[in-house]
Amino acid sequence: MFTIDAHLDLSMNALEWNRDLRKPVTEINEREKGLTDKPDRAKGVVSLPELRRGNIGLVVGTQIARYVAPDNPLPGWHSPEQAWAQTQGQLAWYKAMEDAGEMVQINNLDSLEKHINLWDDGLLNETKPVGYILSLEGADSIVTIGHLERAYNYGLRAVGPAHYGPGRYAQGTDATGYMGQVGHELLKEMERLNIILDATHLCDDSFWEALGHFNGHVWASHNNCRALVNHNRQFSDEQIKELINRGAVIGGALDAWMMVPNWVRGKSDPKQMNCNLDVMIDHTDHICQIAGNALHVGIGSDLDGAFGREQCPYDLETIADLQKIPALFKKRGYSDADIENLMHGNWLRFLRNAWK
């Protein structure tokens, strides 16, 4: 089944992990054997050939670069200008993939419909470009509000104002506090440019503030449920209800610590923790029960988002195994139409509405 994945850190993997994503996953992992600079070396699951094999023809591809103040222990850049430069390097990688015929940017309704028709032509996927919608995970790299229009002009179509910790425009995971005036200005400019607000990673304070000040289109690209894993990174039922009321789609994430409770990074094992793809369906089903339908769920896997097979479902060898999800969803009693909505239909409906 044609599949949309609403959150992949492809350019981060290409530049910071130094992975040539045109290669098969097996080849990428073989080259990384013996490396210890990242905990997920030789355990990656994402590459462009695997996306094609899994019929994952459209993704939301991120730019990501955090600014860190002197007292912030998180990894990141020491000035917004450096963070901006990092995102420009990431943009250059996407453009290089376009030049090579490996990817194509999707940034309006015409390009979306053309791309969907290409992937629905019945021919083999092997030579088809993977479509990507450009998103910014954490807005720290937007040096000034004026930079946002520059980013829109090169294709940026969704922004998550914060990532982990305190941000320049909002507060993120494990932080607390509000967006303030500069955050409101960012939201206002996003609304003017019709840039989608990604509510993922916003701390509770900033989440409610953002939704109170933003009248544009909202989604949550990769988020699970606090009722199942009690952590501020997840959405409470109240937040899920508000997103549903706003017409949002919420993408299920496959990072094990977000899927099962009591995960210990670097120690827990997916099999021992019973972390498989069916756990994603637990989170998906929870959202569907709140909504009373299956119109607000999708996939936003976050696979290879600084973790690999050591921290993802044990029944997933590569991202192509997202094709196991329809059967699992069907087992829960969901209809064929519901399954299509989960795999691609809800994201397509959202985008068609946002870009009409």
Please write down the HEC assignment for all residues of the chain: CCEEEEEECHHHHHHCCCCCCCCCHHHHHHHHCCCCCCCCCCCCCCCHHHHHHCCEEEEEEEECCCECCCCCCCCCECCHHHHHHHHHHHHHHHHHHHHCCCEEECCCHHHHHHHHHHHCCCCCCCCCCEEEEEEEECCCCCCCHHHHHHHHHCCEEEEECCCECECCCCECECCCCCCHHHHHHHHHHHHHHCCEEECCCCCHHHHHHHHHHCCCCEEECCCCECCCCCCCCCECHHHHHHHHHCCCCEEECCCHHHHCCCCCCCCCCCCCCCCCHHHHHHHHHHHHHHHCCCCCEEECCCCCCCCCHHHCCCCCCCHHHHHHHHHHHHHCCCCHHHHHHHHHHHHHHHHHHHHC
Q: What is the pLDDT of residue 354?
A: 98
Whole-angstrom Cα distance, residue 328 to residue 334? 9
Q: Which amino acid is at 303?
A: L
**Quick one: tokens of 257?**
């610590």
Residues 41/32, Cβ–Cβ less than 8 Å: yes
Round to whole Å and give the CA distance between 130 and 108: 16
Phi, psi of 135 (to 5 degrees): -130, 155
Predicted confidence at residue 337, as pLDDT, reads 98
**Amino acid 175: pLDDT:** 97
The structure tokens listed for 57 are 């023809």
Integer Cα distance of 58 and 67 in angstroms: 29
- Structural contact between residues 230 and 261, judged by C-beta atoms closer than 8 angstroms: yes
Per-residue pLDDT of the chain (356 residues; tens, 9 = 90+): 999 999 999 999 999 999 999 999 999 999 999 999 999 999 999 999 999 999 999 999 999 999 999 999 999 999 999 999 999 999 999 999 999 999 999 999 999 999 999 999 999 999 999 999 999 999 999 999 999 999 999 999 999 999 999 999 999 999 999 999 999 999 999 999 999 999 999 999 999 999 999 999 999 999 999 999 999 999 999 999 999 999 999 999 999 999 999 999 999 999 999 999 999 999 999 999 999 999 999 999 999 999 999 999 999 999 999 999 999 999 999 999 999 999 999 999 999 999 99
**Could you count the other beta carbons within 10 Å of the beta carbon of residue 337?**
10
Q: Which residue has the tokens 């329809």?
A: 326
Q: What is the pLDDT of residue 144?
A: 98
| Domains contained in the chain, CATH given | 3-355 (3.20.20.140)
Taking the CA atoms of residue 300, residue 301, residue 306 and residue 310 in that order, the dihedral angle to the nearest 10 degrees is 160
d(CA 252, CA 63): 20
Bridge partners of residue 272, in order along the sequence: none
Q: How many Cβ atoms from other residues are within 10 Å of residue 53's Cβ?
A: 18
Using the structure block, give the residue that is written with the tokens 């900033």. 206
- Paired tokens of 325: 């999800």
pTM of the model: 0.98
